[in-house]
Amino acid sequence: MLDKINPTKTESWKKLKNLGSISDLKSLFKNDSNRSKKYSLSNDGLFVDFSKNLIDDKILDLLFNLSKECKLKDAINKQFDGENINETEDRAVLHTALRSFDKKSPFFKNIKQDREKIKNLSNNILNGNYLTSNGKRFTDVVNIGIGGSDLGPTMVVEALKYYKTNLNIHFISNVDGDHVTEVLKNLNPETTFFIIVSKTFTTQETISNALTVKDWFCKKLDEKDIQTHFAAVSTNLEAVKDFGINPDFVFPMYNFVGGRFSLWGTVGISISLAIGYENFEQLLRGANSMDFHFKNTPFEKNIPVILALISIWYNNFNNVESEAIIPYTEYLKYLPSYLQQAIMESNGKSVDRNGEKINYQTGNIIWGGSGTNAQHAFFQLIHQGTKLIPCDFIGFKKSLYGNTSHQNKLLSNFIGQTEALLNGKSLEEVKKELIMSGLTTKKIDEISPFKAFEGNKPSNTILFESLTPKSIGMLIAMYEHKIFVQGVIWNIFSFDQWGVELGKKLAAKLLTEINSGKLKSHDKSTESLLKNLRL
Ligand code: F6P
């Protein structure tokens, strides 16, 4: 069990509250020529510059003390050792075990067996040893799942598209019938392999989609061909059997891995098919390298710990509500929505580990988009809006196809934006520029306030050599550990998600009413909405 320490009662929290914010980031750089070096870290090909944050040594020291007072080290050990730290579900939290290569790691035997099974299926399908029911090669794979059974694979398959095998991977998640129809309309059931991913095998969206796909499949092929064309990843073996899936194609999931942390194991079969097993293993090795760094590095040099603490500084002591994730590669366009689930489903909690209502801020709001597209969309608000929005800029030194001319432009924007956020542009600079352009003094006075940038806006720069399965593994694991650190300090349970249950139950009740046309009594707004549907 994790300790249950109210962070607001610690000495460090009280001191941090009394410190007051820093607003002049530019001066911090002027007064310390060593700042960027002092506030940067490297690990296994990853470079993180956190110098452009509204922090100084005093703040950082207090944040490190806060983590010590909240027994962070002890919590990390308990997580890796497999203690049941997910108390409300009485489960361990061992997604780290899914990417461990250490024989002594918990459940290593099972996990190794699963990897062998993933490898065999991937290799056999990819090299044509395993064929369709009509003896052809598979051309397409469809992953049917939602939430953690979809977002991780969707994001990683897109992120590692450069390493693509000859299989085309598709994802069906939404219960919106148009989604499944759109995906199926371009597919040939004869050459498609389906993976139904659902820990519970009861999730409305996934089961509805799986049954629709089964119907569509059986219109062209025989029901017995399901045995050749379908696999399932689940803990609900009974339901999987009832669906008609070949027991050899059933892959286990574990209660010690939450859906949003599950891409590293059997949920990642679509990833392995998309990029080949060797690359999938590199993804795991990248995450494992980050696990090693997180577990063994003193907090003062620990990348996920530092990123988490800085974010706590903004969230709890500077009234910051959101964080933007800006990857400078189109390959990572799904990273913000993946992290939305990982971060907001984990730390969007308002009851602490003692069961008490919380009176401080917890989970951040996560949003973002790929650079440079985002610059032409929401960057206006980050640069000149009234809200303080710390940004993570994620970049890669080399482009994958080696287009240097584009890469130089991309990197100029990547660095240029963080420079602009830091330094801004003073009224004087704006006026000087306008004088040069020949405007009248009256016009200059009128227009210049709108063209000035305050600057002093914080950002982290997260930089890898190139986009590889290993670097993506490291990046995701870095954020997973950041989530963990924040949850420990906020004294919440990060690994349950009771907040998604109520809506599910109400939707199930409403479905009965909608299907039967017999509406029960609801609040007036809901009643009028139901009438509006004219069902
Ligand atoms: O969104 C809630 C949730 O329980 C996620 O945590 C999970 O990843 C998703 O639903 C899907 O659940 P399942 O894998 O059981 O279908």
Point out the catalytic residue in the list 158, 281, 345, 480.
345
- Whether the model pTM is above 0.95: yes
In whole angstroms, what is the distance from residue 117 CA to residue 405 CA?
43
Ligand 1 atom at minimal distance to the Cα of residue 262: 8
In terms of domains, do 72 and 215 share one? no
In whole angstroms, what is the distance from residue 475 CA to residue 290 CA?
8
Tell how far the Cα of 306 is from the centroid of ligand 1, in angstroms. 30
pLDDT tens per residue, range 327-350: 999 999 999 999 999 999 999 999
In terms of domains, do 251 and 290 share one? no
Task: Please name the residue ranges forming H helices in 346-403.
Answer: 346-347, 379-384
Q: Produce one character per residue of 457-475: b if its CB has 16 or more CB atoms within 10 Å, e if not.
A: bbbbbbbbeebbbbbbbbb
DSSP-derived secondary structure letter, 260:
G
In whole angstroms, what is the distance from residue 53 CA to residue 113 CA?
45
Ligand 1 atom at minimal distance to the Cα of residue 205: 16
Is 158 known to be catalytic? no
Nearest to 313 by CA among 12, 11, 34, 68: 12
In terms of domains, do 217 and 110 share one? yes
For residue 2, is it within any domain? no
Q: Under the phi-then-psi rule, with left for phi > 0, alpha for psi from -120 to 50, and beta for the rest, what region is 20?
A: left
For residue 127, is it within any domain? yes
Residue reference for tokens 């148009």: 178
Pocket-forming residues, ligand 1, beta carbon under 6 Å: 146-149, 198-200, 203, 206, 259-260, 497, 500
pLDDT tens per residue, range 424-450: 999 999 999 999 999 999 999 999 999
Ligand 1 atom at minimal distance to the Cα of residue 148: 8
For residue 265, is it within any domain? yes
In terms of domains, do 130 and 146 share one? yes
**Residue whose CB lies within 8 A of the most ligand 1 atoms, among 172, 198, 203, 237, for a mutation test:** 203
Point out the catalytic residue in the list 4, 504, 520, 531.
504
Nearest CA to ligand 1 atom 9: 147
Summarize the chain as % helix, strand, coil (round to 5): 55, 10, 35
**Residue whose CB lies within 8 A of the most ligand 1 atoms, among 497, 504, 505, for a mutation test:** 497
In terms of domains, do 146 and 245 share one? yes
Is 376 known to be catalytic? yes
In terms of domains, do 170 and 266 share one? yes
Amino acid at 287: A
* Strand ranges of the sheet holding 322-327, from the earlier edge strand across to the other edge: 40-43, 46-49, 459-464, 391-396, 322-327, 365-368
For residue 29, is it within any domain? no
For residue 31, is it within any domain? no
**How, if at all, do strands 459-464 and 391-396 pair?**
parallel
Q: What is the mean pLDDT of the chain?
A: 97
Ligand 1 atom at minimal distance to the Cα of residue 234: 14
Ligand 1 atom at minimal distance to the Cα of residue 197: 14
Query: From residue 180, how far is each of 39, 176, 272, 353 by CA, in Å?
Result: 48, 7, 23, 40
DSSP-derived secondary structure letter, 344:
I
In whole angstroms, what is the distance from residue 314 CA to residue 364 CA?
10
**How, if at all, do strands 365-368 and 322-327 pair?**
parallel
For residue 24, is it within any domain? no
Where is 532: in which H helix or E strand?
Answer: helix 524-532
Nearest CA to ligand 1 atom 10: 147
pLDDT tens per residue, range 387-411: 999 999 999 999 999 999 999 999 9
Q: Produce one character per residue of 313-323: b if its CB has 16 or more CB atoms within 10 Å, e if not.
A: bbbbbbebeeb
Tell how far the Cα of 284 is from the centroid of ligand 1, in angstroms. 22
pLDDT band at residue 533 using 50, 70 and 90 as cut-offs: confident
**Residue whose CB lies within 8 A of the most ligand 1 atoms, among 86, 89, 143, 149, for a mutation test:** 149
Q: Specify the pLDDT at position 488.
A: 98
Point out the catalytic residue in the list 38, 136, 220, 376.
376
Residue reference for tokens 């399965």: 469
- Three-state SS across 484-516? HHHHHHCCCCCCCCHHHHHHHHHHHHHHHHHHH
In terms of domains, do 354 and 378 share one? yes
Tell how far the Cα of 376 is from the centroid of ligand 1, in angstroms. 34
Is the pLDDT assigned to residue 207 strictly greater than 80?
yes
Length of the chain, in residues: 535
In terms of domains, do 47 and 83 share one? yes
In terms of domains, do 330 and 417 share one? yes
Tell how far the Cα of 148 is from the centroid of ligand 1, in angstroms. 6
The contacts of residue 426 (CB under 8 Å, 6+ apart) are: 452
Asked if 167 contacts 140 with a C-beta cutoff of 8 angstroms, the reply is yes
Sign of CA dihedral 348, 352, 355, 357: negative
The contacts of residue 372 (CB under 8 Å, 6+ apart) are: 328, 410, 413
Tell how far the Cα of 422 is from the centroid of ligand 1, in angstroms. 40
**How, if at all, do strands 140-144 and 168-172 pair?**
parallel
**Residue whose CB lies within 8 A of the most ligand 1 atoms, among 155, 200, 202, for a mutation test:** 200
The percent of residues in the chain predicted with pLDDT above 90, rounded, is 99
Per DSSP, what are the bridge partners of residue 325? 368, 392
Tell how far the Cα of 470 is from the centroid of ligand 1, in angstroms. 26
CATH number at residue 220: 3.40.50.10490
Tell how far the Cα of 237 is from the centroid of ligand 1, in angstroms. 17
For residue 25, is it within any domain? no
In whole angstroms, what is the distance from residue 51 CA to residue 40 CA?
7
In terms of domains, do 179 and 75 share one? no
- In order, the DSSP letters of 421-459 are HHH-B-HHHHHHHHHHTT--HHHHHHHHHHH-B-----E
* Range scoring the smallest mean pLDDT among 188-192, 269-273, 292-296, 513-517: 513-517
**What range does the domain containing 158 cover?**
95-281
Tell how far the Cα of 175 is from the centroid of ligand 1, in angstroms. 13
**In total, how many domains does the chain have?**
3
pLDDT band at residue 535 using 50, 70 and 90 as cut-offs: low
For residue 30, is it within any domain? no
Cis peptide before 139 (omega within 30 of 0): no
pLDDT tens per residue, range 299-332: 999 999 999 999 999 999 999 999 999 999 999 9
Is 504 known to be catalytic? yes
In whole angstroms, what is the distance from residue 26 CA to residue 54 CA?
10
To the nearest 10°, report the CA torsion of 136, 142, 144, 146. 160
Q: Radius of gyration of the chain from Cα atoms?
A: 25
pLDDT tens per residue, range 115-147: 999 999 999 999 999 999 999 999 999 999 999
Nearest CA to ligand 1 atom 16: 198
Nearest CA to ligand 1 atom 3: 147
**Residue whose CB lies within 8 A of the most ligand 1 atoms, among 86, 93, 146, 234, for a mutation test:** 146
Nearest CA to ligand 1 atom 13: 198
Nearest CA to ligand 1 atom 1: 147
Which of 281, 304, 333 marks a domain boundary?
A: 281
Q: How many Cβ atoms from other residues are within 10 Å of residue 273's Cβ?
A: 27
Nearest to 96 by CA among 480, 415, 423, 389: 480
Asked if 284 contacts 27 with a C-beta cutoff of 8 angstroms, the reply is no
3-class DSSP state of 230: strand
In whole angstroms, what is the distance from residue 253 CA to residue 266 CA?
7
Tell how far the Cα of 19 is from the centroid of ligand 1, in angstroms. 41
Is the pLDDT assigned to residue 256 strictly greater than 80?
yes
Asked if 328 contacts 393 with a C-beta cutoff of 8 angstroms, the reply is yes
User: How would you class 350 by CB atoms within 10 Å of its CB: exposed for 0-12, middle for 13-18, buried for 19 or more?
Assistant: middle
In terms of domains, do 109 and 161 share one? yes
Tell how far the Cα of 266 is from the centroid of ligand 1, in angstroms. 15
In terms of domains, do 410 and 457 share one? yes
pLDDT tens per residue, range 64-110: 999 999 999 999 999 999 999 999 999 999 999 999 999 999 999 99
